[in-house]
Copies of this chain bind each other. A is one copy, B any other.
Amino acid sequence: MDEFNENVSMNTESKNERIKTGIEKLDWMLQGGFPTKSITLVSGTPGSGKTIMCFHYIKEGINQGEKCIYLSSDERVENIKRQATELGFDFQHAIDNGQLKFMYIDLDKTGIHKEMEMELRIGNYSRVVLDSLTPISEVPVWVSGIHEVIPSEGTDKTKDFPVGSIPTTRIHIKRIMSMINQANCTALVTSEVPEGSRSLSRDTISEFLVDGIILMDLDTTMDRRKLTVRKMRATKHTLKPQDITITEGGIQFL
């Protein structure tokens, strides 16, 4: 890692409260951590380490005595816990004493948005992980009533937003982001990037609706893993991809 912010002239820490990421070098890159009350998108291809980034974040929260929730779209919650354990993150104690909650967002059930919103409102969580945003944002929703009419001949016919269209997806994601914002927490939201795509999310919209973007990537030819801070509100940061490794204990900067 080069000296990308050795001359940080910006005295933002006085203005911005920071919340530690759980990875020391990343805190240093981000001038102390994520801005509090921010939402950061963690984007990446399969196996790039998005979920492990979330484990660090949760672990740090537990260490700080904060209340945390891990919203998962993967029904195999036991699998996630096991994966965490395998990497040396032991969450069981925190789960037992109520400091950490794992919650499965069952896409097969009606009312998941209300359920999430309610949990976030009453849970008083300091740290929220949503892993991942992509399947939830894909659930077809129906939006109506906001269609502006530009009449040229006096008609006032209205149409629904097409299900699955860009504007519907945008409104849907905005709604999810809004839930998280109102929970007064700092959040990590993971996002799928299909292999071979240069986009920052499958939907190509999420990245415009968050405060920060961390891109996880891997280069099989060179056998390297990369972490790039693509955007972070109120933070002077390098744009340079950083070499990382995933080992016992999780993500390590090289």
List A residues at the B interface (Cβ < 8 Å).
4, 9-12, 15-16, 46-47, 74-76, 79, 82-83, 85-87, 107-113, 132, 134-135, 138-153, 155, 157-167, 170-172, 174-175, 178, 181, 192, 194-200, 202, 204, 207-211, 213, 218-221, 223-225, 228, 230-234, 236, 238-241, 246-248
List, in ascending order, chain B residues with CB within 8 A of A16's CB.
86
Contact B140 A147 (CB under 8 A): yes
Instruction: Kindly state the separation between the CA atoms of A230 and B86 in the bound complex, as whole angstroms.
Output: 19
Besides the contacts A108-B146, A195-B204, what 4 more A-B pairs have beta carbons closer than 8 Å? A112-B148, A140-B161, A141-B150, A221-B240
Instruction: Kindly state the separation between the CA atoms of A47 and B211 in the bound complex, as whole angstroms.
Output: 9
Instruction: Kindly state the separation between the CA atoms of A198 and B236 in the bound complex, as whole angstroms.
Output: 26
Contact A208 B230 (CB under 8 A): no
Contact B207 A195 (CB under 8 A): yes
Q: A196-B197, A230-B47, A231-B46 are in contact. Are A145 and B110 (CB under 8 A)?
A: yes
Contact A167 B139 (CB under 8 A): yes
15 CB contacts below 8 A, A to B, read A12-B86, A47-B231, A83-B234, A107-B171, A138-B166, A138-B167, A140-B165, A142-B158, A143-B150, A144-B153, A166-B202, A220-B230, A220-B240, A224-B239, A225-B239
Among A82, A146, A202, A240, the one with the most B-chain Cβ atoms within 10 Å of its Cβ is A146
Partner of A9, one of B153, B228, B248: B248
List, in ascending order, chain B residues with CB within 8 A of A246's CB.
236
Contact A248 B10 (CB under 8 A): yes
List, in ascending order, chain B residues with CB within 8 A of A46's CB.
200, 207-208, 210, 213, 230-231
Q: A174-B75, A223-B238, A228-B220 are in contact. Are A152 and B143 (CB under 8 A)?
A: yes
List, in ascending order, chain B residues with CB within 8 A of A108's CB.
143, 145-146, 152, 171
List, in ascending order, chain B residues with CB within 8 A of A170's CB.
107, 135, 138
Q: A15-B86, A86-B12, A233-B86 are in contact. Are A146 and B109 (CB under 8 A)?
A: yes
